[in-house]
Amino acid sequence: MTMKRLSIAIVGVLALLAVAAFATIWQPELDEVDEHSMVGADQSQIARGYDLAQLGNCQSCHTAEGSEPYAGGRALATPFGTIFSVNITPDRETGIGTWSQEAFSRAMRKGVDREGTHLYPAFPYTHFTKMTDADIDAVYAYLRSVPAVRNEAPDNSLPFPYNIRALMAGWNLLFLDDGPLQAVGGQSEAWNRGRYLVDGVAHCSACHTPRNSVGAEDSSAALAGAEINGWYAPALAGEGARGWTKPQLATYLSTGFSRAHGAAAGPMGETVADLAKVAPADISAIATYISSLTDERAATIAVVDNGVPDNLAAAHDLWVGACASCHEPSAATGQGGKNPSYGVALSTGYAVHSPQPLNTVRTIVGGVDFYRDMGGPYMPGFEGSLTTVQIAELTRYVRARFSDGAAWDDVGGTVQNALSKGNRQ
């Protein structure tokens, strides 16, 4: 069956389920709350909500480039069309200022807004439903405390049938397992805490797990790695996963950099910029859980330098002029050169070993620029300095020289794609 036919068949099944489950489609509108409700909310609850909002990286999706935090309007490209994040500031006209705690909790657990309309799972309620009531209420208290901003998000641009929100009721019957996560017996408190955060508010698998033809995470391939917005989110579990020790991962998640793994870039860079503000105990819990998925086997990433590839002499000139001042391996150690690569070899990072050129290309194009105020890793982007052809040549060069993987396919197309997307998406 072709993917298209499969999609049509699945949409049909969803429609039938939706009809059969009319009761779950129809969700009541919940009452508006008074403008001054929550004034004087418990400060420690707001502070906890702030931490959870950083763990959940809420601001990243709910803020358009160059505009006010949480005011929505960021375009999220999905395989089904473009969805625009909504305003979640307490503005009463365009934000969620009229939402009660009950309405917010329903949105987080069931993916239904205050008016009773189904939301799309680009908003990861399939994860947020796993949070405790206390944590959901804390996020609500925090979002009530941010400045209200008047900003109407643009309408989604989804073709038929994906524009029918009621279909999501059928989707939810199939893919939404609502209610808080239960702890696993025999595991430590930190491990369970980490699992709760990873599966819940931090929604790691929203990027790191592949999705099926109707956009639900494939639970049989949990955290097995997936393409997301023109980047590749590496596997965190299963065969393709690199080993991480707990200290390596904790350092990476709170600073964007690990000497054994390299720098976080792209969507993970945005995520780390938020995780850096989170309490160390939460980061440590996440690291405990994720590192257990690879049995804490130490990362043993051999330094690779195959020398200048014979067929890429022109690319070598580009390398020497544009890259070598930071990345040329030291003759003495074989490791990377001077700052700002911290003397870490380019072959340490996942990007050059990945089966796809996505992350290498996107990093050359857009650089790494999430930690300017944190003293973390930095790399200038080469979009504009180098041409499409030159970036493609360099990409082939670093693959051939610093990994033992086969040459990548369609490097030129990947570069063109990356250049058309700009830095942020």
- The only residue of 326, 419, 421, 424 in contact with other proteins, by rule CB under 8 A: 326
Taking residues 59 to 88 in sequence order and writing x for each that binds other proteins by CB under 8 A, - otherwise, the string is: -------x----------------------
- The only residue of 263, 322, 346, 358 in contact with other proteins, by rule CB under 8 A: 322
CA atoms of 29 and 116, how far apart (whole Å): 5
Which residues, 371 to 390, sit near other proteins by CB under 8 A?
372, 378-380, 382, 384-387, 390
Contacts of 413 (CB under 8 A, 6+ apart): none
CA atoms of 273 and 255, how far apart (whole Å): 8
Pick the closer one to other proteins by CB: 32 or 305: 305
Contacts of 17 (CB under 8 A, 6+ apart): 169, 170, 173, 174
* Binding of other proteins by 370 (CB under 8 A): no
Compute the least distance from the CB of residue 379 to other proteins, in Å.
8
- The only residue of 333, 339, 355, 410 in contact with other proteins, by rule CB under 8 A: 339
* Binding of other proteins by 340 (CB under 8 A): yes
CA atoms of 301 and 346, how far apart (whole Å): 11
Q: Can you name the residues that pair with 386 across neighbouring β-strands?
A: 383
Compute the least distance from the CB of residue 382 to other proteins, in Å.
8
Compute the least distance from the CB of residue 336 to other proteins, in Å.
13
Q: DSSP letter string over 193-252?
A: HHHHHHHTTT-THHHHS-B-TTS-B-GGGTTS-EEETTEEE--SSSTTPPP--HHHHHHH
Compute the least distance from the CB of residue 380 to other proteins, in Å.
4
* Binding of other proteins by 40 (CB under 8 A): no
Q: Which residue in 159, 164, 158, 117 sits closest to 18, CA to CA?
A: 164
Pick the closer one to other proteins by CB: 33 or 386: 386
Pick the closer one to other proteins by CB: 277 or 372: 372
DSSP reduced 3-state for 383: strand
- The only residue of 174, 314, 334, 355 in contact with other proteins, by rule CB under 8 A: 314
Rg (CA), the chain: 23
* Binding of other proteins by 319 (CB under 8 A): yes
CA atoms of 96 and 94, how far apart (whole Å): 7
DSSP reduced 3-state for 118: strand
What residue type is assigned to position 15 of the chain?
Answer: A
Pick the closer one to other proteins by CB: 249 or 361: 361
Pick the closer one to other proteins by CB: 49 or 377: 377
Which residues, 184 to 203, sit near other proteins by CB under 8 A?
none
* Binding of other proteins by 317 (CB under 8 A): yes
Interface with other proteins (CB under 8 A), residue total 24
- The only residue of 320, 334, 405, 407 in contact with other proteins, by rule CB under 8 A: 320
Residues 178, 269: contact at Cβ < 8 Å? no
* Binding of other proteins by 350 (CB under 8 A): no
End-to-end CA distance of the chain: 32
* Binding of other proteins by 318 (CB under 8 A): yes
Q: Can you name the residues that pair with 257 across neighbouring β-strands?
A: 263
Helix (H) or strand (E) holding 83: strand 81-84
Compute the least distance from the CB of residue 307 to other proteins, in Å.
16
Pick the closer one to other proteins by CB: 224 or 379: 379
Q: Which residues bind other proteins (CB under 8 A)?
A: 66, 314, 316-323, 325-326, 339-340, 372, 378-380, 382, 384-387, 390
